[in-house]
Amino acid sequence: MTPRSPHPDEDAHYTLPPPQPVFFIEQALLGALLLEPQRLADVTGISSDAFSNAAHAALFTAIRSLPAPDPAQHAKSTQWLDAVLTAAGEQTRGLTASYLHGLIQVCPWPRHASAYARMVEAEHARRLLRAAAQRLAQTAHDTSLPHPAPTSLAEADALTAVVDDIAAKFPPHSPSLPRTPTPPPATAHNNEEAIDEERLLLATATAHPDDIEHMRWLTPDDFTHPAHAGIWHCLTTLARRHAPVDPVTVLWEAQQRGLLTSGTDPTDLLDLLGAPVGSPDHWGERILQRSLLATAHHTGRRIEAFTDNPATTPYQLVVGSRRALADLSAVRSRWHHATSPTPATRRAPAKATKPPRASPPRTTAPPTARVSR
C-alpha cells in the first residue's frame, strides 16, 4: 500500500482524530492536478469551498488561479509547483514543498481526477445539508426568538433549497430511503405550559362549541398529552354531529371512546371543562405553533441523522430529506390556514338593468298630491 503523505498540521502537540475518507480523496484529486495540471479541465462543478481541509482549499484555489504549464516543461521543472506553493501559502500556513510532492505520490491515477472531484462534491453536499438541518433544529428549539414560527419556517425554506440543489447535481437512481434509524422525538420543552394551554383550550371550546367547526386546522396529533388529544377528538366529533356540547356530553363521549380508565375521577374532567378562559382560537394557535416547532425540530434532527451515516448516498439524502420535509409541510399548511386573516366576503354585483326611458321634459309643475284624511 502506498504510504500516506503527512498531514500539514501533524506537527501539532496534540493528537488529531483520524481523518475521514474524503481527506484522502481530496489528496488524490490535488495530487492528480499537481502532476497533470491539464486535468483541471475535467474537474467541473466544484469550488474551493467543497474541500473539508483549509490547506486543500488553498491549494485548489492556487491551482485554478495559475495558468497551466506546458506538460513537457512541467515534467522537467518544479517552477509551476513552486508558484502553486507560494500562492497557497498566502491563504494558509503549514504547507511545504514536501507535502505537495507527497500529494503527487499518493494519487493512484491522475486520469481519475473527475471521479475524485465527484466524490469531493458529494461529501460537500452532505456537509451543507447537515449544517442546514442543524440550523433548523436549533432555531425551532430556541425559546428566545420573538417570532419562532416564521423564523423556523425560513430555515426550513433554506434547507429545502439545499435539498433541491443536491437533487439537481446528483441525478436520481434507485429511490431507496436511507437506512438510518429515525431519532425519537425530543421531549417538549415548557411541558407544564403546554399542558395548561391544552386544558384551557378544551374548557373554552366546550364553552364556545360554535368555534370548533372552523378549527379544522387543529388535530389531536398537535397535543402533547394523549388524554387531551382524546378529549379534543370528542369535542370535534360532537360539533360535527351538531350534537349538544357541554361538560356532561363531553364526559359521556369520552366514556364511549374508552378514555375514562378505572382510576379516572369524572369530576376532574368536569372541573377541567368548566373553567373557560379566553377564546378557543387563541389557545388553538398556541398549541399548533408548539406542534409546528416540534415538527421542525424533529425534521432537522432526522435529516442530520441521515447525513451522519456515511453509507447514505446523495440521492438517498434527497429522498429522505424530502420525506421529512413533507411532514413539516403538512403542519405548515395548517399553520398558515389558522393564522391567515379570513378574506372579506365580497358582495355579488347587482344584475344590470336597462336604463329607464327618457320622459319628455315637464313644462308645468306637477300636480300637488292630495292628502286624504
Asked if 29 and 120 touch (Cβ cutoff 8 Å), the reply is: yes
Q: For residues 300 and 53, give the distance between their C-alpha atoms in angstroms, rounded to a whole number.
A: 25
Q: Say yes or no to pLDDT of 204 above 50.
A: yes
pLDDT of 373 strictly over 90:
no
- CA proximity to 112, closest of 5, 4, 37, 29: 29
If pLDDT is split at 50, 70 and 90, which confidence band does 191 have? confident
* pLDDT reported for residue 357: 43
* pLDDT at 356 > cutoff 50: no
69, three cell numbers: 504549464
What CA–CA distance (Å, rounded) separates 130 from 306? 8
Q: Taking Cα atoms as reference points, which of 288, 146, 275 lies closest to residue 206?
A: 275
pLDDT of residue 8: 55
**Structural element, H or E, at residue 322:** helix 314-339
Provide the residue type at 53 as one letter: N
What is the dotted CATH code of the domain comprising 123-181+189-340?
Answer: 1.10.860.10
> How much is the average pLDDT of 177-192?
68
pLDDT of the residue at 82: 95
User: Would you state the pLDDT for residue 354?
Assistant: 45
pLDDT value at residue 346 = 41
What confidence tens digit (pLDDT) does each residue in 45-82 have?
899 999 999 999 999 999 999 999 999 999 889 999 99
> In this structure, which amino acid lies at residue 229?
A
189 vs 200, residue with greater confidence: 200
Say what the pLDDT of residue 265 is.
86
Q: What is the pLDDT of residues 257-311, one digit of tens each?
A: 998 877 778 999 999 999 999 999 999 999 999 999 999 999 999 999 999 999 8
Average pLDDT over residues 311-337: 94
Higher pLDDT, 135 or 352: 135
Q: DSSP for 203-265, please give it.
A: HHHHH-GGGTTT-TT--GGG-SSHHHHHHHHHHHHHHHTT---SHHHHHHHHHHTT-S-TT--
Cα 370 from Cα 95, distance rounded (Å):
114
Cell of 216: 379544522
Q: Is pLDDT at 186 greater than 90 in this prediction?
A: no
pLDDT digits (tens, 9 = 90+) for 12-49: 455 667 888 999 999 999 999 999 999 999 898 899 99
- Percentage of the chain modeled with pLDDT above 90: 71
Mean pLDDT of the chain: 86
Of 26-30, 119-123, 166-170, 173-177, the least confident: 173-177
Q: Residue 7 pLDDT > 90, yes or no?
A: no
Domain locations along the chain: 21-108, 123-181+189-340
For residue 248, is pLDDT > 60?
yes
On whether the pTM is more than 0.75, the answer is yes
In SS3 terms, 85-132 reads as HHHHHCCCCCCCHHHHHHHHHHCCCHHHHHHHHHHHHHHHHHHHHHHH
Of 78, 73, 2, the C-alpha closest to 34 is 78
Nearest to 125 by CA among 314, 322, 300, 321: 314
Q: What is the mean predicted confidence (pLDDT) over 172-200?
A: 75
